[in-house]
Chains A and B, each alone.
Chain A
Amino acid sequence: MELNSRLPTGPIETAWDNTKFEMKLVNPANKRKYSVLVVGSGLAGGAAAATLGELGYNVNCFCFQDSPRRAHSIAAQGGINAAKNYQNDGDSIFRLFYDTVKGGDFRAREANVYRLAQISLEIIDQCAAQGVPFAREYGGALTNRSFGGAQVSRTFYARGQTGQQLLLGAYQALERQVQAGRVAMFPRTEMLDLIVIDGRARGIVTRNLVTGEIDTHLADAVVLATGGYGNVYYLSTNAKGSNVTASWRAHKRGALFANPCFTQIHPTCIPVSGDYQSKLTLMSESLRNDGRIWVPLKKGDTRQPGQIPENERDYYLERRYPSFGNLVPRDVASRNAKHVCDEGRGVGPGGLGVYLDFSDSIHRLGEKVIAERYGNLFDMYQRITGENPYQVPMRIYPAIHYTMGGLWVDYHLMSTIPGLFVLGEANFSDHGANRLGASALMQGLSDGYFVIPFTLGNYIAGAKLEKVDRSHPEIRNAEACVQQTVDKLLNIKGKRTVDSFHRQLGKIVWDYCGMSRNARGLESAAEQIRELREEYWTNVNVPGSGADLNQSLEKATRVADFFELAELMCIDARERNESCGGHFREEYQTEDGEALRNDEQYSYVAAWGYRGYGNPWDLVKEPLEFHYVHPSQRSYK
């Protein structure tokens, strides 16, 4: 299979404008004759549903939560990047583009990233107009903060709740369209299959999570904005409900899945406290602006942090990376934390933690300024750990946070199934092997507000879409498949709970396909995952019925898909014999332990095609070309 990424030709600066001009348009009066299904209501999905509704399409929007406002975008803390150069510190579209391509360790498409950097300007304008209460200077102008991987201050924020405020902006725009009758919202409704007719995506099969009804929704195009798959690790910073099911079912219907092994570990999370732990809590990366990271110089130093004198502390990021210091990108910060803990210099119970210390900043700026910047994060830390970070350093440890991989899409954000578009974290396109902080919100909103309205119109205008009959055998077949899976899970009546399997699966993936990986481990992990999956389908216990709210059943269908994805992640990580971004293969590192890329052989997107359970996946490669940012060894020294 050949992948056509439909990349624009010509200079990158005008590529998106030219592409937009060349696109076919749908006449305003005709838009109301078309219908679109948007699955997911976070930044990407909410923005897409609202904007498509404004344009006049008939939109049905679905989310598994009780309200679109709960989507996990809401938990993003730190901010959103935009190349506004309001700080006059040398920022530009090109610099944001450059930083993002470099930050992604040269595994993203240049054209996509350039477009993202261009659109970043419009996003801030749009959100400010919606009433998003961004932080301001006294004169009323917008203010910025710095973030990892950049030397300019380009991050816009709303206290530590930027994701919440941007999502509420999109949610309010969405509800406005609900009120106007352009969007119908289906909360507590989970997509469990994709309907493909004559090679085109034409609908979805859903399960109503309250009544258990299995239903089919048909349309002219389907947009997936269903987020990332970090919960495959069980413990992650994702919401408990975040899952890969919609993407995975689309994958099984023919959409290629790209770079599944590119997962991001966030360096600043609250360390695990016990076996009952259900999720990991992120502390925004923005804390690294004013916090200094250190561990004791000596191994096994059990003194309280305040009793360790300055000359017996190792500020290892500042020491190893003098120019970026504590603001190195996430992958570098995470690996270094793991490294010092592996050396036995970690702090806190179990030795899996490093200090993030604010005493210098409090001394320099005063407690009031620090409280203004990070007050809510400090409060949250204290609520969870019982320690006061104004007085003792925070303890942090890396945790799975974001997944750069996802369904393969072309420049138009269309998957390999015509009519199936994939936005936001669910696609793979813009972050390469590592995402920079404050770029996820930017990408979600860029895709939803400013890309899909054009590219979806182009598709609809160019496709001859016949009306689909509800009795079509493909629909019957998909509905029957969904019903079978549900019935099967309910009827196993084994001995182990879904969570116990999920925990065990997560541990395998974390141990072998987490912060560092090697060929032997990955092969063994794939084997262990297959074995555990066999046990899952014979020994899981899903209580209750399929005819009402059944949270165990919801989890069970999601975990079933995580098993299959986990195996593919290990296969992908095994196949990529290099280290890049979040993918660190122990066999491939420089003498001083930095990631060693292999551009000769691995400068490509690995897109995997499903060929039925038990059969090996097909690997299709999309070569990456760099004309504007020359691939170099990333250096933050």
Chain B
Amino acid sequence: MRLTLHVWRQQGPRTKGRLVRYQMDNVDHEMSMLECLDVLNEELIGKGDEPIAFEHDCREGICGSCGFMINGVAHGPARATTVCQLTMRNFKDGDSLTIEPWRASAFPLIKDLVVDRRSFDRIVASGGYISVSTGNAPDANAILVPKDIADRAMDAAACIGCGACVAACPNASAALFTGAKISHLGVLPQGQPERHLRALSMVAQANLEGFGGCTNIGECTAVCPKEIPLEVIARMNRDYIAAALSQRDAEVNTIRPFTEWSTGSKLVNDPHATS
């Protein structure tokens, strides 16, 4: 089939970007969206142009690397599908696709369709864990977890951290991502001791990164490739409100956001640098 792609090309964070039109005459239905870009890139290299930079790795929909907007929808038209598993069967001959990167100030652009999502890592670092150092654990069956609770935790833990929720949200909110981790750990018995401090810290970090607030629109869950339910945001809000009271004297963990890539940036959070 024939497709027309309009792809966002931008050399770097400080240069101006634009949509560039590419005509593809021989797209196979069985291809994935990324394989379609592979074919286009081989053509571009052959013509002496630079290929389109896009993020990808596992191509099985689990690593969370890939993702871009297709005609304004994060990860394109198929429900619960990342672009690496979006087959071209979802389009028809003559379609025109506009392909753009995630756009959010907390995801600065690096090149073409590639953005910097380290802000997500920092949200996790601020409290998205259970503090149990290696060797501390009791026998696994010493902590019983009812099946429905384990299932609920797993539903939230399935998040792949791709950032589609942020890109789809008119507020560029990271509430679904943050809420998913808060819910995963917060419903489990192992996660109870730090439940409230975790909510406070992670929400504070998300705010610090420049993600917007949640206004219950629900675009995030609609585009989420893992169908993380909106209920995780409700859980986050509940834990956050409870924490505001119970943890009012607590010191919240946050990390200074940074966007530089130069290796000099290691000095920012690496007091020991190298020997």
Contact = CB atoms under 8 A, between A and B. Distances in A.
Interface of A: 35, 47, 50-51, 54, 58, 60, 65-70, 72, 74-75, 84, 86, 122, 124-131, 133-142, 158-159, 161, 163-165, 168, 171-173, 175-176, 178-179, 181, 184-189, 203, 206, 208, 210-211, 213, 215-220, 239-241, 273-274, 276-279, 281-282, 379-380, 383-384, 386, 449-450, 453, 467-468, 497, 499-500, 541, 543-544, 548-549, 551-552
A164 B255 contact: no
B65 A70 contact: yes
B134 A449 contact: yes
17 contacts: A58-B272, A70-B65, A127-B140, A129-B140, A130-B130, A131-B190, A138-B146, A139-B144, A142-B140, A163-B62, A165-B157, A172-B124, A218-B275, A240-B57, A380-B60, A543-B50, A549-B53
Given A133-B184, A277-B35, A75 B130 contact: no
Given A239-B57, A499-B42, 16 more contacts: A74-B62, A122-B137, A129-B190, A130-B130, A131-B184, A131-B185, A138-B147, A158-B154, A161-B158, A208-B261, A239-B58, A278-B38, A384-B32, A386-B87, A450-B134, A551-B53
A70 B64 contact: yes
Given A70-B57, A211-B262, A543-B48, A75 B63 contact: yes
A213 B114 contact: no
Contacts of B42: 497, 499-500
A551 B42 CA distance: 12
A549 B274 contact: no
Given A69-B64, A128-B137, A380 B275 contact: no
A178 B125 contact: yes
A543 B49 CA distance: 7
Interface stretch (B115-123, B165-173, B210-218): B115-123
A171 B125 CA distance: 9
- Sorted nearest first, the 10 A-B pairs with minimum C-beta distance are A140-B144, A184-B270, A172-B129, A129-B137, A128-B140, A175-B125, A210-B261, A125-B137, A133-B154, A133-B153
B4 interface: no
Contact of B147 (A137, A159, A173): A137
Dominant secondary structure at the A interface: mixed
A176 B49 contact: no
Nearest to A453: B134
A547 B37 CA distance: 23
B49 A67 contact: no
Contacts, number: 257
Given A140-B146, A175-B129, A184-B269, A281 B261 contact: no
Given A188-B261, A386-B89, A543-B45, A164 B62 contact: yes
A543 B121 contact: no
A51 B184 CA distance: 23
* Chain B interface bracket (under 10, 10 to 19, 20 to 34, 35 or more): 35 or more
Contacts of A67: 117-118, 120-121, 161
A129 B50 CA distance: 48
A129 B143 CA distance: 8
A208 B262 contact: yes
A50 B263 CA distance: 22
Most buried by B among A68, A175, A453, A544: A175
A388 B35 CA distance: 23
A129 B130 contact: yes
A165 B181 CA distance: 12
A18 to B, nearest CB: 19
Contacts of A216: 274
Contacts of A551: 51, 53
B61 interface: yes
B65 A208 contact: no
Interface in B101-149: 110-111, 114, 116-118, 120-121, 124-141, 143-147
Contact of A276 (B38, B45, B160, B270): B38
Contacts of A139: 144
Where chain B touches its partner, the secondary structure class is loop
A278 B37 CA distance: 11
A140 B147 contact: yes
B235 interface: no
A239 B59 CA distance: 7
B201 to A, nearest CB: 9
A75 B58 contact: yes
B55 interface: yes
Contacts of A383: 78, 81, 85, 87
A277 B60 CA distance: 13
Contacts of B30: 273-274
A541 B62 contact: no
A279 B228 CA distance: 27
B1 interface: no
B253 A179 contact: yes
Contacts of B231: none
Contacts of B48: 543
B78 A175 contact: no
Contact of A66 (B117, B147, B188): B117
A51 B138 CA distance: 17
A278 B34 contact: yes
A213 B263 contact: yes
Given A133-B157, A219-B275, A66 B132 contact: no
B241 interface: no
A37 B161 CA distance: 26
Contact of B57 (A72, A138, A178, A276): A72
B19 interface: no
B25 interface: no
Contacts of B127: 179
B141 A86 contact: yes
B248 interface: no
A188 B261 CA distance: 9
B18 interface: no
B274 A217 contact: yes
Contacts of B110: 210, 549
Contacts of A126: 132, 134-137
Contact of B58 (A68, A72, A217, A386): A72
Contacts of B62: 74-75, 161, 163-164
Nearest to A187: B118
A188 to B, nearest CB: 7
Contacts of A187: 118, 121
A222 to B, nearest CB: 12
Contact of A131 (B85, B116, B134, B188): B188
A306 B141 CA distance: 44
A549 B146 contact: no
B204 to A, nearest CB: 13
B266 interface: yes
Among B58, B110, B125, B143, the one with the most A-chain Cβ atoms within 10 Å of its Cβ is B58
B234 interface: no
A517 B220 CA distance: 50
Nearest to A82: B140
Contacts of B271: 181
A203 B275 CA distance: 10
A281 B62 CA distance: 11
A211 B261 contact: yes
Contacts of B64: 69-70, 74
B190 A130 contact: yes
A241 to B, nearest CB: 5
Contact of A186 (B63, B111, B266): B266
